[in-house]
Chains A and B, each alone.
Chain A
Amino acid sequence: ETGVTQSPTHLIKTRGQQVTLRCSSQSGHNTVSWYQQALGQGPQFIFQYYREEENGRGNFPPRFSGLQFPNYSSELNVNALELDDSALYLCASSTPGHLTGELFFGEGSRLTVL
């Protein structure tokens, strides 16, 4: 069974640029959620995708957007990067109707904005 994989693992961007982060969900999981983890903080929910549609969003501006593809993989796009966007971005997948709430996390993509 393949776990959640994310790419790239590290990247550096400058303020104002755009970035795309990618995530492949664990086999059999059709729900993907994205989290931002700033240094020294817990993960903060950005949004969730289910059946290729956004299904729940946290307190993040519209310049944070996403996609989910028919194979359940997902992208997180951030436009007009700001210095405060520097963080570890975590992707998590879960099984359909997973009432127990267990999320399976990737190792994250560390974004540095200069």
Chain B
Amino acid sequence: AQRVTQPEKLLSVFKGAPVELKCNYSYSGSPELFWYVQYSRQRLQLLLRHISRESIKGFTADLNKGETSFHLKKPFAQEEDSAMYYCALRGSGNTGKLIFGQGTTLQVKP
């Protein structure tokens, strides 16, 4: 079965500290993985996708097929990073179907 697990509901760090939001997945085949973010009073939006190997707002995520993980990392957290983060997996052959994890609230304290 296709599943995305985000083990932490809440991650609280101080400004300037490193951040790692964990995401594990279950999928048979070659997965496509994404991180979506929802800032306060804003709509859900794409942060980054694994195929692009990009760094967005200082965040990176590496797909580890051996550990079936796609953790989101940032070396130095900023207060504006406080938001809800969702890891998502794209189902095979269907562009609109994303399987989301339960989400992790990142709280960056001053």
Q: Which residues of A contact B (CB under 8 A)?
A: 3-4, 31-33, 40-45, 48, 50, 55-56, 58, 90, 92, 94, 97-108
Tell whether, in the assembled complex, residue B102 and residue A31 are in contact, meaning their CB atoms are under 8 Å apart: no
A101 to B52, CA, bound (A): 11
The 6 closest A-B pairs by CB, nearest first: A42-B100, A33-B96, A48-B96, A56-B94, A105-B44, A101-B90
What is the CB-to-nearest-CB distance from B91 to chain A, in angstroms, rounded to a whole number? 8
What is the CB-to-nearest-CB distance from A89 to chain B, in angstroms, rounded to a whole number? 13
Tell whether, in the assembled complex, residue B102 and residue A100 are in contact, meaning their CB atoms are under 8 Å apart: no
Across the interface, A48 reaches (CB within 8 A) one of B43, B94, B103, namely B94
Nearest to B102 among chain A residues (CB) is A42
How many residue pairs link A and B with beta carbons under 8 A? The number is 70
B46 within 8 Å of A (CB atoms): yes
Tell whether, in the assembled complex, residue A45 and residue B98 are in contact, meaning their CB atoms are under 8 Å apart: yes
Q: Which of B1-50 contact A (CB under 8 A)?
A: 4, 6, 9, 32, 34, 43-46, 49
A102 to B56, CA, bound (A): 15
A55 to B90, CA, bound (A): 15
19 new A-B contacts, CB < 8 A, other than A101-B98, A102-B34, are A4-B43, A33-B96, A33-B97, A40-B102, A42-B6, A42-B86, A42-B101, A43-B98, A45-B91, A45-B99, A48-B97, A55-B96, A56-B96, A58-B97, A98-B95, A100-B49, A101-B49, A103-B46, A106-B43
A58 to B103, CA, bound (A): 19
B contact residues around A40 at 8 Å (CB): 9, 102
